[in-house]
Amino acid sequence: MLEIDLSRGQPPGGTESYEDALAAENVSLRLLLAQAEINTSDLLARAGIDAKERETSDKLQKLMLEELHHRVKNTLATASAIVAQSLRNVQGVDHAQQAIEGRLLALGRAHDLLLQTRWANADLGAVVRSAIEAFDDRNESKFSISGPDIRINSGAVIAVAMTLNELCTNATKYGAFSVPKGCVDLHWTVDQQTQRLHLTWTEKDGPLIQPPAKRSFGTKLIETLGRQLQGNVQLTYAERGFTYRFDVPLASLSVPTPA
């Protein structure tokens, strides 16, 4: 900053008047103050942005924790129901263990798939292939799969995965997969006019089958999962093979639109 000696008649250098020196000094001060004002405004703006970001981050974290808590409770409730129902009318410890393990593994695979998409949604085809993978033959597939791409919500992912696990398990024990040449035709279509999805599981080249004498937990689970999605479930025990049909509104499968 320019220093001025007021005790002398001339400003430093002797070529400028004090008025000129003061004017120059005022210009310098104004520039400094203007810059300070800009810096202050910038800092306040940044502080406001940071505060807003922190507030948004805190709200998001709270929402995520609440959602996680909700889903953990639902998962534990589902697991508890699986264990309780699997042990009801149990035919032996080994049988119960296999049933429980299979259903919990199916639940785990569904969660793995949802984790890959951050619990938002998943493609129905990916859900189907993930659910049947453990029951298929890599060298010669037992499944014929077809259907359009469609995104389904997390609840539908779990319901479809659990249903397919039950169907695969039953096919392995009593149906098409209990014989070497047995196979399954699994396909789905979307009716745009009625806004519904139709999914069909048809077993072929399996043994002759008869309707069960009583409804098992697996059958009840399949029907319950269908009702959870406001869908209609039809089970047909024909001699030529078992058929499962699932008819559900697209609205029950759709991914929620962010507000």
What does the pLDDT average to over 201-218? 88
Check whether residue 23 and residue 117 sit in a common domain.
no
CB 239 within 8 A of CB 175: no
CA distance 202 to 171: 10
Residue ending a domain, among 87, 113, 143, is: 87
CA distance 251 to 221: 22
166: helix, coil or strand?
helix
Q: Is the pTM of this model over 0.75?
A: no
Check whether residue 106 and residue 203 sit in a common domain.
yes
CA distance 199 to 166: 15
Q: Encode pLDDT of 155-203 as tens digits.
A: 888 889 889 988 988 898 889 999 989 999 999 999 999 999 999 999 9
Tally of structural domains, the chain: 2
Residue 11 lies in a domain: no
Residue ending a domain, among 61, 87, 113, is: 87
Check whether residue 143 and residue 229 sit in a common domain.
yes
Backbone angles phi, psi at 244, to 5 degrees: -120, 130
Domain span at 41: 16-87
| pLDDT band of 7, cuts 50, 70, 90 | very low
| pLDDT band of 220, cuts 50, 70, 90 | confident
Q: 141-171: string of b/e by CB count within 10 Å (b at 16+)?
A: ebbeeebeebbbbbebbbbbbbbbbbbbbbb
